Chain A
Amino acid sequence: MARKAVAKTAQSNVPELTKEQELTAYREMLLIRRFEEKAGQMYGMGLIGGFCHLYIGQEAVVTGVTMASNKGKDAQITGYRDHGHMLVMGLDPKGVMAELTGRQGGLSKGKGGSMHMFSNEHRFYGGNGIVGAQVSLGTGLAFASKYRDDGTVSISYFGDGAANQGQVYESFNMAKLWNLPAVYIVENNRYGMGTSVERASGQPNFSKRGISFGIEGEQVDGMDIRMVYDAAKRAIDHARSGKGPYILEMLTYRYRGHSMSDPAKYRTKDEVSTMRAEHDPIEQVKSRILEKRYGTEDSLKEIETEIRAIVTEAADFATSDPEPAASELWTDIYAPA
């Protein structure tokens, strides 16, 4: 249970973010938190069906990585715990929430659901429901970057559970073989559904999983956005400069169950409450903002109010927007020539 990366971070070596970055990080992470809390509530009311995997607790990972990337140019792809990624990448919260409720104004017209949302415009490629598949797909996005020589990189997120899938290593091999601009982010939240890393992984240090391919990796405190940002900058620069793939293992934690219907009997309440109390990514940023006087309680409350308005608007839209027309059943199966 010891969290090495948390401990090893000597405070003097912690990279600092600027005022603007801290405030951006606070806003982005708070949007994810409030959005996901609302999604959880709406799921509880029966407005969202099927599976619903919340990102609460892991906000610093996608926020810090995206801040370090060329947002909108670099491609990103993830698995099914994807709402946070979409919000940070700039997809419309109304469209995301309406997709969760299966309405016509959802990002996938209500035909994809929680696990399947995409945006060519924002270069977000899902939202993939098959554990590990996004790693091969993301490697293909990197292949396209290199093929076009357009200076973009591809960032693929996957969990500690997915990290044991065979295609991940087929992809690592090709990424190194062809020197692809691929950044692999292992979001290690300690549990693949209800199975802890210790019970599923022969080598639980996922940053070492690239060693046999010659891919560098780092373990990062994924609850501290400064560490995430700093490591992601390094990894993305490495990939962009033509040095090939890079692995970052983000030590993070999900507060909620694997999905909404998780009995949560595989971990103790103390473990969850300790993480929340001592390592919460948003509280960390908030206290720095106040400490460094980048903002005041009042100015942060203003941000909170704005965020709540965005989330309320999204929820209202997602509950008032109609379901897709029956004719949509038969569209988007075959692409126009």
Chain B
Amino acid sequence: MPTILMPALSPTMEEGKLSKWLVKEGDTVKPGDVLAEIETDKATMEVESVDSGKVVKILIPEGTEGVKVNEPIAQVQGEGETLEAPPVAKTAPEPIEAPVVVAEKVAEAAPAQAAAPAAPSFVAAADPDLPAGVEMVEMTVRQALNEAMAEEMRRDPDIFLMGEEVAEYQGAYKISQGLLQEFGPKRVVDTPITEHGFAGLAVGAAFAGLRPIVEFMTWNFAMQAIDQIINSAAKQLYMSGGQVSAPIVFRGPNGAAARVAAQHSQDYSAWYSHIPGLYVVAPFSAADAKGLLKAAIRSNTPVAFLENEILYGSTGLVPKVDDYVLPIGKARIARQGKDVTIVSFSMGMRYATQATEKLVAAGLDVELIDLRTLRPMDTKTVIESVKKTGRLVTVEEGWPQGGIGAELAAVVTSEAFDYLDAPPTRVTGKDVPMPYAANLEKLALPSVDEVIAAVNAVTYRS
């Protein structure tokens, strides 16, 4: 025989007032009928019947204050039921008591239950071996990105590119040059200026199994779309229990361009690297740009692919192989050394590389690491390096608080503390919105001199 229990209006409610009975003993009720009204200091609620039958007994009279949640307030006798049914055993099954039982368990067993299981470690594959004597082709980062998209689009008809000015205009930064001509307007889609809408649209298309590449004219504009990137794309696999993924690449130039001031000059590396469920890639070289964009397009996990406008025209050697795909999540040791570890990525690598050249010329054996991927971050390579050098300098254009350098400093401090000979030191963009004036802009960005100064500080040279 069903017992009506005092319901909770919210998970935090513990007791309330039974203000009014709308039925009396002997009444017949059916599902949905309002039985009573209850009240807390915040709200009132109607208690509906979920059963049909006769109200046999009202256990708590109306007007009673302080009725505990889950306390029986009435008994309803279902059709065909008899009163002999043992009310307590049948009407207070385990689940009804569950909240209480759970609470007790937590209290008793708190120490044993406290720890979450350890996070599985991410193991990235090594870079592919290149055939001996492979031809290296010099190209710009722009060409490398363009080739990566064209090659992947030839391979898989489900891949399409969408964004502002990607088709007819050939790309605001010409990354999509020629793609409309080769693949047509179905697969190279000019969008209205509606980042929020088209990012969401692309994620929906990815749910349905297509593989969109979304170009943001710059990542600054993707702030309009960040809800769809994070709440819809990044979290989808997890909150669907592994059922629905969003294989999508969001790409475009990130960080400071030149003289475009605060709203168009921001480094989002740390922002996106914060998000579980996203891969975040930020290449520096042309070869990495190509190999990692191809990997991003093939990834079934959504990828934030952070390019850099200033680097688009820089050239590098790209191996001429049929399918140059690099592993996401693997840092590249750009130079091996034993005296100090410099870690950077994307545009920061330009400052770091120039600083390294000068420092090496001055006799310091620098190890330079290009992270390439910011999530999953290859901290293993960094930790191993710091264990060897005892010193860490990080370089990034982004702001210092909660930055990539801050994360690396924390990881190295906890994982390689005994090996450190100096505090980990960050070179970052200054903690200001980007100014327009040429001199101030220069001051706001990291510089080669600042990298050298940081290295000198951690190696106690001056």
* A contact set with B: CB distance below 8 Å: 33-34, 37-38, 40-47, 49-50, 56, 75, 77, 106-113, 116-120, 125-126, 128-130, 133, 135-145, 147-148, 154, 166-167, 169-171, 173-174, 177, 257, 260-265, 319-320, 326-327, 329-337
* A77–B204 touching, CB < 8 Å: yes
Residue of B nearest to A280 (CB): B32
* B200–A125 touching, CB < 8 Å: no
| Segment at the interface with A among B242-250, B283-291, B344-352, B361-369 | B242-250
- Minimum Cβ distance to chain A for residue B14 (Å): 10
Number of residue pairs across A and B with beta carbons under 8 Å? 218
Q: Which of B120, B196, B244 contacts A166 (CB 8 A)?
A: B196
Known: A126-B244, A128-B232. 5 other contacts (CB 8 A): A47-B98, A111-B238, A147-B160, A320-B95, A336-B300
* B242–A118 touching, CB < 8 Å: no
Interface residues contributed by chain B, number (CB under 8 Å) = 70
- Asked if A147 meets B241 with Cβ closer than 8 Å, knowing A263-B44, A264-B43, A335-B247, the reply is no
* B contact set with A: CB distance below 8 Å: 5, 7-11, 31-32, 42-45, 47-48, 50, 69-70, 93-96, 98-99, 116-117, 119-120, 122, 160, 186, 191-192, 194, 196-210, 227-228, 231-232, 237-245, 247, 276-277, 279, 298-301, 376
User: When chains A and B are docked, how far (Å) is the Cα of A215 from the Cα of B312?
Assistant: 41
* B48–A327 touching, CB < 8 Å: no
* B300–A337 touching, CB < 8 Å: yes
* B197–A75 touching, CB < 8 Å: no
* A334–B279 touching, CB < 8 Å: yes
* A139–B201 touching, CB < 8 Å: yes
* B198–A75 touching, CB < 8 Å: no
Residue of B nearest to A282 (CB): B32
- Which residues of the other chain, B, contact A106 by a CB distance below 8 angstroms? 241
- Which residues of the other chain, A, contact B298 by a CB distance below 8 angstroms? 337
- Minimum Cβ distance to chain B for residue A78 (Å): 13
User: When chains A and B are docked, how far (Å) is the Cα of A42 from the Cα of B96?
Assistant: 9
- Which residues of the other chain, A, contact B44 by a CB distance below 8 angstroms? 263-265
- Minimum Cβ distance to chain A for residue B65 (Å): 18
* A108–B239 touching, CB < 8 Å: yes
Residue of A nearest to B200 (CB): A136
* A108–B43 touching, CB < 8 Å: no
For A43, A125, A335, which residue has the most chain B Cβ atoms within 10 angstroms? Answer: A335
- Asked if A40 meets B117 with Cβ closer than 8 Å, knowing A75-B208, A170-B196, A174-B191, the reply is no
- Minimum Cβ distance to chain A for residue B166 (Å): 15
* B209–A144 touching, CB < 8 Å: yes
Q: Which of A44, A257, A265 contacts B7 (CB 8 A)?
A: A44
- Which residues of the other chain, A, contact B10 by a CB distance below 8 angstroms? 260-261
Q: Which of B197, B243, B277 contacts A334 (CB 8 A)?
A: B277
- Which residues of the other chain, B, contact A145 by a CB distance below 8 angstroms? 208
